[in-house]
C-alpha cells in the first residue's frame, strides 16, 4: 500500500486517465486520434441533459430498470447471519448488467456518427447486449469471441446470430477473452474510420474505464435509494464478482466514500491460486496490456499468462485499473473463489431461491456463503446478481451429469 | 558523437539512395538461427535492422508476426536474450543501426532504467514501442532520449496535421510512417498516397521518413523507396522464414538463406528506385 490515501475515492481518474499509477492510454498511434475524439464526445454527452433524458427513457422502457433489490430470505435463513439482498441485474433485458454500459456507449457512438460496432465477449453477455442494441438502432455488429468460449457458451452465440450480429471465433492464444480483445483491437486499428469499439468492462485505454464505470454506476445509485426504502439506511457490505470488474464497479462506486460500507470483490481462483486461475490481484502484479496499466497475470519476462476460470466471463488475466487502485489504497477487499466453490454456490442458489445465477455471480455467492454466517443478523449485505444462468445450463449440466456417471 | 543512425542516413544521402529497413523477430525460430539471420542481413543489403521483441499479445500485428513471436517465445526467447542477440551482432558489425521494436510490458517488467542501460551497452540504437503514444512519453520515451537512444515514433494515416507536431516532438532517428490503417502484413500500400503522406510529414520535420506495412515485393519496395527515405519490410521476411521451417516449426539448413535471399532481392528493389529516378 504505497499509494497515498485520497480525500475522496470517487474523484478519479485524472485528465490523463490515471487512477494512481494505474490506467493510462497505452495504444497504437492509429487509435490515439479516435480515443481523443471519444473522450471529447463522451464529455459533451455527459454535460448534455438531452443525453441523460434519452438514456433514462431507454433504461426504463427498454432495459426494464430499476432492477429490484430483493431480500433473499431463504439464503439468509440458511446461512444464519447477515441479511442478504440481491441486486437483480439478471432481470435486465438481455439477462445481465452488461446492457447498462452498452446502451450508453451506443448512444455515444450514434452521436459520433459511427455505423459499425465491434465488441469482445467472454461469456457472451456483453456480446448479446451489444448485438441487441445494434439491432435496436440499426447498426452493423461484429463480436469477437474466443473459440473455447464459443464452445462453452453456445446459447449466447445463437442469440447473437439471431440478433443479426456476426460472431468471429478467435483461434489465437488460449482462445478466450484476452484473445478476443486482441482481435477486436486489430479490427479497430484496421477500420478505425467507421468503427466504434464497444468495450464490455471497466478496462482498456482512457476514457473507457471511466465511461463504463459511469454507465454501470446506475446499479449502485439505485441500490442506495432502494436500501433506504427497504431498511431506512445504507447497506453494511457490498459484494460482487470481478473479471474486468464492471458489475462490481457499478455497485461499488456510489458507496466508495461511505466508510461504514465494507466492500468485497471476488476474483476467479479457477483450479486454485497455486494452479491455473484468473485472479489478477491475488496472483498478479502491475503491468501494461490492452491500453492500461493494471494488475496482470504474467511471467518474469512480462509475457502474459493464460488465465483459467470455469466462468468464461471471468477468464481474463487482468482487471480494470480502478480496481487495482482501490486494492492498493485498501478501500476494497479482493477475495477469490474457485471453480468448485462457484459450482456449489450455483447449485445452492438455484435450489434455495429459485434463481439460477450465471457462473460469474456464483463466485460472489460462494464468498457470501463464507462471510454472511460471521456477520450479525442486522448486517445488511448486498450481492450483485449480475447475470442469469441460462447460458451456463448446458455447461453445468454436462459437468454434473459427468460426475453422477462417474460415481 | 554522431549516432549510428544519423551516420547511416548521412551516408545514404551521399550515395543518393533510400534506406532498406528489415524487420525480423528476435529469437525466431530459435535464438541461434535468429542471430545467424540478423548477421546475414547487412550482407544482403539491409541498411537498418529492426528486431522484434517477442510478446504474447501483439495487438497491432497480423497473424505472421504473431506466430513469429510465439515461435520465439516457445524457443525460450526473453527480453534479456534479445539484448544478448544485439550484443553478439555488435561483435562483428559496428555500423548497422539496430532498432528494437515491440510492446511496453516486457520492458516495464524488466525495469525501464535497467533496460535502457543494458540496451545501450548491448549496442541498440533505437526503440519503436507500438503501445506508447506521445501521451505516455514520460514512461520510456523521455528516459530513452536522455540515455542517448533514438525513440522512433509511428505516424499513421489517422495522424492529422493537428496531431503531427505532438507525434514528432520527441521523435528522433527517423519517423516510421505506417502506410495503412491496419495491422502488420494486412494490405498493400498505395505508393502515390504514400508519397503525399511522406511529403505532408516532411513539412513538419527534418527527420528521414521511412515507410512500412504492406511492402512485400521488390517492385513495391522500389515504388515506396522512390517516395520516401526508406522502405521497411517485415511480414514478407517472416513469411519466407516460416516457409523454410520443417513440419515441427524448426529451422532447416535453408532458413537463413531463405530470409537473406529475399532481403537481397528487396534491397535490389530499393536500390533500383534511385536508378529509376536518375
Least-confidence region, from A7-11, A70-74, B187-191: B187-191
Q: Is B47 a catalytic residue?
A: no
Q: Per residue in B175-215, pLDDT tens?
A: 999 988 888 887 777 888 899 999 999 999 999 999 998 89
Q: Which among B56, B66, B104 is the nearest to A303, CB-wise? A: B56
B104 touches chain A (CB under 8 A): yes
Q: Are the Cβ atoms of B131 and A27 closer than 8 angstroms? A: yes
Q: Is B83 on the interface with A (CB under 8 A)?
A: no
B155 has a pLDDT exceeding 90: yes
Above 70 in pLDDT, residue A2? Answer: no
Best residue in B135, B141, B184 for a mutation probing chain A (most A CBs within 10 Å): B135
Pairing of strands A262-270, A22-26: unpaired
Q: What is the third-level CATH fold of A66-95+218-406?
A: Rossmann fold (3.40.50)
Interval B51-74 mean pLDDT: 95
Q: What is the pLDDT of residue A1?
A: 47
Question: How would residue A53 be classed by pLDDT, with cut points 50, 70 and 90?
Answer: very high
- Which chain A residue's Cα is nearest to B132? A26
How confident is residue B278, by pLDDT bands cut at 50, 70 and 90? Answer: very low
Residue B158 forms contact with A (CB below 8 Å): yes
Q: Which of A12-26, A123-137, B181-195, B253-267 has the lowest mean pLDDT?
A: B181-195
Task: Check CB contact of B131 with chain A, cutoff 8 Å.
Answer: yes
d(CA A362, CA A343): 7
Q: Do domains A18-58+98-212 and A66-95+218-406 have the same CATH topology?
A: yes
The span from the first CA to the last CA of chain B, in angstroms, equals: 33
Q: Cβ–Cβ of B59/A30 closer than 8 Å? A: no
In chain B, which residue's Cα lies nearest the Cα of A170?
B63
Of A30, A173, A182, which has the smallest distance from its Cβ to B158's Cβ? A30
Which candidate in B28, B30, B61, B137 is catalytic?
Answer: B61
Residue ranges covered by each domain of chain A: 18-58+98-212, 66-95+218-406
pLDDT at A152: 85
Domains in chain B and their CATH numbers? 4-277 (3.20.20.70)
Residue A288 clears pLDDT 50, i.e. is over it: yes
Q: Which residues of A touch B154 (CB under 8 A)?
A: 28-30
Chain B nearest C-alpha distance from A339 (Å): 26
A49-58 and A98-111 helices, crossing angle to 10°: 140
Residues B2 and B141: their CA atoms lie apart, in Å, by: 20
Nearest CA among A109, A134, A111 for reference residue A121:
A134
Contact A28 B107 (CB under 8 A): no
Instruction: Name which of A366-370, A389-393, B264-268 the model is least confident about.
Output: A389-393
Selected residue of A29, A285, A300 to mutate for chain B interface (largest B Cβ count, 10 A): A29
Please answer whether residues A267 and A281 qualify as being in contact, where contact means their C-beta atoms are separated by less than 8 angstroms: yes
- B166: which residues sit within 8 A by CB, 6+ positions away? B134
Instruction: Determine, for residues A289 and B57 on separate chains, whether the beta-carbon distance falls below 8 Å.
Output: yes
The C-alpha of B65 sits at a distance from chain A's nearest C-alpha, in angstroms, of 12
pLDDT of residue B188: 72
**Which residues make beta-bridge pairs with B23?**
B50
Instruction: Kindly identify which residue of chain B lies nearest to residue A183, measuring between CA atoms.
Output: B59
Judge contact between A322 and A292, C-beta under 8 A.
no
Cβ distance A251 to A235 under 8 Å?
Answer: no
A147-188 pLDDT per residue, tens: 999 998 899 999 999 999 999 999 987 788 999 999 999 999
Judge whether B50 counts as a catalytic residue. yes
**Chain A: closest CA distance from residue B63 (Å):** 9
B181 and A301: CB-CB below 8 Å? no
Q: Does B164 touch chain A (CB under 8 A)?
A: no
Query: Which pLDDT value is given to residue B275?
Result: 56
8 Å CB contact between B175 and B152: yes
Q: Which residue reads 434455495 in cell numbers? A: A352
Share above pLDDT 90 across residues of chain A, in percent, rounded to a whole number: 94
List the grid coordinates of A214: 459511469
Nearest by CB to B156, from A29, A172, A290: name it.
A29
> pLDDT tens, A315-353?
999 999 999 999 999 999 999 999 999 999 999 999 999
Q: Which residue has the higher pLDDT, A174 or A12?
A: A12
Can you say how many angstroms the Cα of residue A141 is from the centroid of all Cα atoms in its chain? 20
Extract the C-alpha cell encoding A310.
470455469
Quote the CA–CA distance of B268 and A221 in Å, as a whole number. Answer: 66
Strand ranges (E), chain B:
19-25, 48-52, 98-102, 126-129, 150-151, 154-155, 175-178, 209-212, 230-233
- The CA distance from B239 to B236, in Å, is 5
Contact of A376 with A81, CB cutoff 8 Å: yes
Q: Residue B112 pLDDT > 60, yes or no? A: yes
DSSP letter for each residue of B77-102: --HHHHHHHHHHHHTT-SSS-EEEEE
**Chain B residues near residue A301 by CB distance under 8 angstroms:** 78-80, 106, 109-110
- CA quadruple B24, B27, B29, B31: dihedral positive or negative? positive
Per CB distance under 8 Å, which residues of A are interface residues toward B? 16, 24-34, 172-173, 178, 182, 185-186, 189-193, 287-291, 293, 296, 298, 300-304
Q: What span, in angstroms and rounded, lies between the C-alpha atoms of A262 and A361?
A: 18
Q: What's chain B's length in residues?
A: 278
Query: How close is the nearest chain B Cα to the Cα of A300, in Å?
Result: 7
Which residues of A have a catalytic role annotated?
98, 120, 386
A302–B109 C-beta distance less than 8 A: yes
- Angle A339-353/A393-406 helices, nearest 10 degrees? 100
Instruction: State the average pLDDT over residues B225-252.
Output: 96
Provide the grid cell at A347.
Answer: 447449485
- Residues in CB range of B251: below 8 A, 6 or more apart: B29, B30, B33, B244, B245
Chain A residue numbers with beta carbons less than 8 Å from the beta carbon of B158 are: 29-34, 192-193
The x, y and z cell numbers of residue A179, run together, are: 484473445
Reported as type and span, the H/E element at residue A137 is: helix A125-137
Closest partner residue to B130 (CB to CB) among A28, A33, A172 is: A28
pLDDT at A135: 98
Angle between helices A98-111 and A32-46 (to 10 degrees): 100
Alpha helical stretches, state H, A271-392: 280-283, 321-328, 339-353, 359-371
Q: Is A33's CB within 8 Å of B132's CB?
A: no
Q: What is the mean pLDDT of residues B145-161?
A: 95
Contact B209, B198 (CB under 8 A): yes
pLDDT, one tens digit per residue, over A195-253 is 999 999 999 999 999 999 999 999 999 999 999 999 999 999 999 999 999 999 999 99
* Cα–Cα distance for residue pair A89/A68, rounded to 1 Å: 8
Looking at residue A30, the DSSP 8-state letter turns out to be: G
Residue B136 is nearest to which of A26, A34, A189, comparing CB atoms?
A26
- Strand pairing of A291-296 and A285-289? antiparallel
Mean pLDDT over B224-237 rounds to 95
**How many contacts does A have with B, using Cβ atoms within 8 A?**
118
B79 → chain A, closest CA residue = A301
Contacts of B186 in chain A (CB under 8 A): 190
Which of B73, B136, B158 is opposite residue A303, by nearest beta carbon? B73
Averaged confidence pLDDT in chain A: 96
- Given an 8 Å threshold on Cβ–Cβ distance, is A290 in contact with B57? yes
Contact (CB<8Å) A186/B133: no
Set of cell numbers at residue A386? 449480475
Distance from C-alpha of A239 to C-alpha of A367, rounded to nearest angstrom: 8
B38 and B51 in contact (C-beta within 8 Å)? yes
Which of B6, B30, B50, B125 is catalytic? The answer is: B50
B120 CB near a chain A CB, below 8 Å?
no
Q: Is pLDDT of A4 > 70? A: no
Closest Cβ–Cβ partner in A16, A186, A193 for B59: A186
Q: Which helix (H) or strand (E) holds A87?
A: strand A83-87
CATH class given for the domain over A18-58+98-212: alpha beta
**Confidence at residue A106, expressed as pLDDT on a 0 to 100 scale:** 98
Amino acid at each position: 500500500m504505497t499509494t497515498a490515501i485520497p480525500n475522496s475515492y470517487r474523484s478519479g481518474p485524472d485528465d490523463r486517465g490515471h487512477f494512481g499509477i494505474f490506467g493510462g492510454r497505452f495504444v497504437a498511434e492509429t487509435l490515439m486520434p479516435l480515443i481523443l475524439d471519444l473522450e471529447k464526445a463522451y464529455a459533451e454527452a455527459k454535460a448534455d441533459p438531452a443525453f441523460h433524458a434519452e438514456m433514462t427513457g431507454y433504461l426504463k422502457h427498454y432495459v426494464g430498470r430499476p432492477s429490484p433489490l430483493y431480500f433473499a430470505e431463504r439464503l439468509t435463513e440458511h446461512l444464519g447471519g447477515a441479511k442478504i439482498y440481491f441486486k437483480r441485474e439478471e432481470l435486465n433485458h438481455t439477462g445481465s448488467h452488461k446492457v447498462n454500459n452498452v446502451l450508453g456507449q451506443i448512444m455515444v457512438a450514434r452521436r459520433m456518427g459511427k455505423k459499425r460496432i465491434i465488441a469482445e465477449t467472454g461469456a457472451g453477455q456483453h456480446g448479446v447486449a451489444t448485438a441487441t442494441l445494434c439491432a435496436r438502432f440499426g447498426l452493423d455488429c461484429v463480436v469477437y469471441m474466443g473459440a473455447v468460449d464459443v464452445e462453452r457458451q453456445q446459447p449466447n452465440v445463437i442469440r447473437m446470430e439471431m440478433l443479426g450480429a456476426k460472431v468471429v471465433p478467435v483461434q489465437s492464444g488460449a482462445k478466450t477473452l484476452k484473445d478476443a480483445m486482441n482481435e477486436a483491437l486489430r479490427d479497430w486499428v484496421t477500420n478505425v474510420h467507421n468503427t466504434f469499439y464497444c468495450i464490455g468492462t471497466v478496462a482498456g485505454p482512457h476514457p473507457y474505464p471511466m465511461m463504463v464505470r459511469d454507465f454501470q454506476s446506475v446499479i449502485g445509485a439505485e441500490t442506495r435509494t432502494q436500501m433506504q426504502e427497504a431498511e431506512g439506511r445504507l447497506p453494511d457490505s457490498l459484494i460482487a464478482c470481478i473479471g474486468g470488474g464492471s458489475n462490481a464497479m457499478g455497485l461499488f462506486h456510489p458507496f466508495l466514500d461511505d466508510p461504514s460500507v465494507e466492500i468485497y470483490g471476488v476474483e476467479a481462483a479457477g483450479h486454485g491460486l497455486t494452479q491455473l486461475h484468473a485472479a489478477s490481484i491475488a496472483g498478479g502484479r502491475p503491468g501494461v496490456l490492452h491500453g492500461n496499466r493494471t494488475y496482470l497475470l504474467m511471467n518474469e519476462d512480462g509475457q502474459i499468462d493464460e488465465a483459467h476460470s470455469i466462468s468464461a466471463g471471468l477468464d481474463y488475466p487482468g482487471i480494470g485499473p480502478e480496481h487495482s487502485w482501490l486494492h492498493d489504497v485498501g478501500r476494497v477487499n479482493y477475495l477469490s473463489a474457485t471453480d468448485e466453490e462457484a459450482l456449489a454456490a450455483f447449485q445452492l442458489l438455484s435450489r434455495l431461491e429459485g434463481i439460477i445465477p450465471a457462473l460469474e455471480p456464483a463466485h460472489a455467492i460462494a464468498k457470501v456463503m463464507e462471510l454472511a454466517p460471521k456477520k450479525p443478523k442486522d448486517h445488511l449485505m448486498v450481492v450483485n446478481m449480475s447475470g442469469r444462468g441460462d447460458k451456463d445450463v448446458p455447461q453445468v449440466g454436462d459437468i454434473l451429469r459427468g460426475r453422477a456417471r462417474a460415481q | 558523437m554522431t549516432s549510428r543512425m544519423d551516420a547511416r542516413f548521412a551516408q545514404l544521402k551521399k550515395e543518393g539512395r533510400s534506406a532498406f529497413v528489415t524487420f525480423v523477430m528476435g529469437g525466431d525460430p530459435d535464438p541461434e538461427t535468429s542471430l545467424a539471420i540478423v548477421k546475414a542481413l547487412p550482407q544482403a543489403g539491409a541498411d537498418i535492422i529492426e528486431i522484434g521483441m517477442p510478446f504474447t499479445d501483439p495487438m497491432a500485428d497480423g497473424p505472421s508476426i504473431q506466430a513469429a513471436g510465439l515461435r520465439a517465445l516457445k524457443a525460450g526467447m526473453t527480453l534479456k536474450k534479445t539484448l544478448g542477440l544485439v550484443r553478439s551482432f555488435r561483435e562483428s558489425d559496428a555500423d548497422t543501426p539496430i532498432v528494437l521494436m515491440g510492446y511496453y510490458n516486457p520492458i516495464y517488467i524488466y525495469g525501464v532504467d535497467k533496460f535502457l542501460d543494458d540496451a545501450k551497452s548491448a549496442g541498440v540504437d533505437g526503440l519503436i514501442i507500438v503501445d506508447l503514444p506521445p501521451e505516455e512519453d514520460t514512461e520510456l520515451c523521455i528516459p530513452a532520449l536522455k540515455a542517448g537512444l533514438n525513440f522512433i515514433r509511428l505516424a499513421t494515416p489517422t495522424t492529422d496535421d493537428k496531431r503531427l507536431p505532438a507525434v514528432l516532438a520527441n521523435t528522433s532517428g527517423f519517423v516510421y510512417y505506417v502506410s495503412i490503417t491496419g495491422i502488420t502484413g494486412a494490405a498493400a500500400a498505395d505508393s502515390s498516397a504514400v508519397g503525399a503522406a511522406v511529403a505532408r510529414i516532411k513539412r513538419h520535420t527534418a527527420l528521414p521518413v521511412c515507410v512500412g506495412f504492406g511492402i512485400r515485393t521488390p517492385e513495391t519496395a522500389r515504388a515506396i523507396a522512390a517516395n520516401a527515405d526508406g522502405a521497411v519490410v517485415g511480414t514478407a521476411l517472416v513469411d519466407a522464414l516460416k516457409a523454410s521451417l520443417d513440419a515441427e516449426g524448426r529451422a532447416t539448413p535453408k532458413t537463413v538463406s531463405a530470409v537473406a535471399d529475399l532481403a537481397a532481392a528487396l534491397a535490389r528493389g530499393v536500390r533500383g528506385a534511385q536508378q529509376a529516378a536518375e
